[in-house]
Structure 1
């Protein structure tokens, strides 16, 4: 959500928290490498995101 007072900063923080951190972990553990394409989804049973290498 874009907040008029704060602009897109809350959205930026959410992306960093929920996507960038997980992608960085996957790069560090070798699950993916730079240039790979991934799909991000939501686990229907849990409140968490899923990451799939395409």
Structure 2
């Protein structure tokens, strides 16, 4: 009983792709935001905020 519970990963779920694809896309989006966070911050700041740094 315990081994069955530990090994259960939900792979027999018929709509597993509906969980996997959005999770993968949100992970990739988060990595992209993290990589370009400095550039995104510069785009959202006004010129006066940039000159004070």
**Bigger relative CO (Cα 8 Å, ≥ 6 apart):** 1
TM over 0.5: no
Structure that is richer in helix per residue: 2
TM-score by length of 1: 0.31
TM-score, scaled to structure 2: 0.31
Q: Which has the higher strand share?
A: 1
* Structure with larger Rg: 2
